[in-house]
């Protein structure tokens, strides 16, 4: 599996993505929106990395933000375009850095339900910091290591692990230590975190622990 296989798999179920999210009671995007709400102003610009069908950024558009989105899957973008709320959306693999925007280009950035497909998050987060305006927020989700998985010796605990998922594709789970290190490296302040349990979609497989994280670009 190469790093674009999960994009291809989204192409395959784009037309049923929104109904499946409902079927599996998957409302992480609403949790992320609620956690961001206090930082938003009407007219702010928002870049959605991995916008998909637009489940997350449709909520920000409703709050009066101007939405730009990138996604690798043309089929997901097609579904998003039908909703008509985004100012600009285009196909782009967000692991290809630098991202195609100038410094301080957006008031806020979100990346919901995407980072569990990536091992190394550093290049994308570094770019998010560069194109984010000062005091802007960067909100994203990760699949988190459970207490049992983190029970490994601290010294030997990996930054992230790759596991098989019931969704038929491998996913990455990131450690708190790794996320804290990235925040410090890029001078992003972690303002909020919320753990969310996501339905595995298979009755014989444990649900998956995710975390919604809101970071802010504080420039001194």
Of the pair 66, 165, the CB lying nearest ligand SAM is at: 165
CA 201 vs CA 3, 11, 30, 208: distances in Å = 23, 19, 19, 10
Cβ 118 to ligand SAM shortest distance, Å: 7
Residues near ligand SAM, by CB under 6 A: 6-7, 10, 29, 50-52, 55-56, 70-73, 76, 93-95, 112-114, 117
| Residue 165 · residue 200 · CB < 8 Å | yes
Pick 105 or 157: Cβ nearer ligand SAM: 105
State in angstroms the smallest separation of the CB of 209 from ligand SAM: 16
The token pair that represents 144 in the structure block: 């988190």
Nearer to ligand SAM, 187 or 195 (CB): 195
Cβ proximity to ligand SAM: between 110 and 179 the closer is 110
Cα distance between residue 148 and residue 145, in whole Å: 8
With beta carbons less than 8 A apart as the criterion, state whether 198 and 20 touch: no
Q: Which of 46, 56, 65 is nearest to 105 (CA)?
A: 46
Residue 63, classified by CB atoms within 10 Å of its CB into exposed (0-12), middle (13-18) or buried (19+), is middle
Nearer to ligand SAM among residue 27 and residue 177 (C-beta):
27
Q: How far is CA 95 from CA 106, 118, 127, 206, in A?
A: 19, 9, 10, 29
Q: Which residue is nearest to ligand SAM (CB)?
A: 52
Smallest gap from Cβ 194 to ligand SAM, in A, equals 15
Q: How far is the CB of 58 from ligand SAM (least distance, A)?
A: 9
CB of 46 to ligand SAM, least distance (A): 12
């Amino acid at each position: 599996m190469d790093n674009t296989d999960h994009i291809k798999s989204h192409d395959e179920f784009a037309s049923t993505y929104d109904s499946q999210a409902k079927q599996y009671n998957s409302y992480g995007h609403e949790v992320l929106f609620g956690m961001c709400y206090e930082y938003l102003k009407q007219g702010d610009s928002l870049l959605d990395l991995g916008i998909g069908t637009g489940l997350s950024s449709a909520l920000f558009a409703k709050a009066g933000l101007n939405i730009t989105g990138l996604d690798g899957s043309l089929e997901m973008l097609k579904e998003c375009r039908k909703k008509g709320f985004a100012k600009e959306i285009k196909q782009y693999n967000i692991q290809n850095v630098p991202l195609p925007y100038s410094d301080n280009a957006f008031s806020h950035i979100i990346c919901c339900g995407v980072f569990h497909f990536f091992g190394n998050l550093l290049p994308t987060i570094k770019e998010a910091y560069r194109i984010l305006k000062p005091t802007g927020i960067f909100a994203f989700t990760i699949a988190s290591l459970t207490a049992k998985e983190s029970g490994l010796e601290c010294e030997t605990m990996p930054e992230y692990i790759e596991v098989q998922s019931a969704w038929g594709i491998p996913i990455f789970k990131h450690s708190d230590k790794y996320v804290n290190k990235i925040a410090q490296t890029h001078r992003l302040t972690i303002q909020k975190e919320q753990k969310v349990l996501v339905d595995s979609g298979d009755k014989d497989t444990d649900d998956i622990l995710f975390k919604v994280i809101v970071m802010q670009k504080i420039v001194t």
